[in-house]
Amino acid sequence: MLKKHIPNTITLANLTCGCIGIIACTKGDLATASYMIWLAAIFDFFDGFTARLLNVSSPIGKELDSLADMVTFGVLPAFILFSMQESLTTGYLPYISFSLALFSALRLAKFNIDTKQTNGFIGMPTPAAAFFVSGLVFWPTSSWLVNNPVSIAAISIVLSLLLVAPIPMLALKFKDYSLRNNISRYLLVIISMILLVLFDKKSFPLIISFYFILSLFVAIKNKRTHDLSK
């Protein structure tokens, strides 16, 4: 049936964005590379949504999704960081950027076999790390965060470690829409929208930073609640 191929076609559109983004990096067009991450994220959402809507979910779709995510949210942001560093320094330091691609592969492989990540994430999701990197492209070149090769190398390492860190992270999955059960998710959406309005394309590092801090706060709160209930 034709409809069973629709989700996989959308996933391949995600992968296509990753390939185009990498080509853009090689030409020094980091803005287009970032746009490809954002467009790919839309495809990444709709492939799963479409599969559930059409009731055509399949094991091959899950594997294909991870392969596409590896390129778009792992290799592409690593190339962006590498390009940013290479414009600032020579030598081996820019190659640290590819730690993000390596740890993204590890993160996705762990996700595929981990049954504990159905309602949330353990470690930062690869799209979140990719969004962080994509926003850096639009920061002023005078900013210490993007005009220093050491700071970019540090970003690469920190994001890489967060991908595999045993830290529960929020997922925007609503079992219901009550405020009581979803206050952290609503807060994430509202603050993200405010940051996006205030800082436009530069907002993504701030949004992802807030996402991490909020997830950490919720994880600590849940652990305390669980300990008190024993």
143 part of a folded domain? yes
- pLDDT score recorded for residue 27: 95
The pLDDT mean for the chain works out to 89
Structure token pair of residue 124: 């930062």
70 part of a folded domain? yes
203 part of a folded domain? no
120 part of a folded domain? yes
CA distances from 107 to 65, 97, 180 (A): 13, 16, 31
Number of domains in the chain: 1
The model's pTM: 0.92
For residue 224, name the pLDDT band (cuts at 50, 70, 90).
confident
What backbone phi and psi angles, to 5 degrees, belong to 51?
Answer: -60, -40
- Computed from CA positions of residues 38, 156, 161, 107, in that sequence, does the dihedral angle turn out positive or negative? positive
CATH number for the domain including 78? 1.20.120.1760
- pLDDT score recorded for residue 223: 77
191 part of a folded domain? no
56 part of a folded domain? yes
95 part of a folded domain? yes
133 part of a folded domain? yes
C-alpha radius of gyration, the chain, whole number = 18
Residue 62: is its pLDDT beyond 90? no
Strand 168-169 vs strand 121-122: parallel, antiparallel, or unpaired?
A: antiparallel
Residue 115: is its pLDDT beyond 80? no
For residue 173, name the pLDDT band (cuts at 50, 70, 90).
confident
Distance CA 196, CA 72 (A): 22
What are the residues facing 127 on neighbouring strands? Answer: none
**How much is the average pLDDT of 17-33?**
96
Residue range 178-221, pLDDT digits in tens? 777 788 889 999 999 999 999 999 999 999 999 999 999 988 88
**How much is the average pLDDT of 60-75?**
92
Domain residue limits at 44: 2-167
- pLDDT score recorded for residue 101: 97
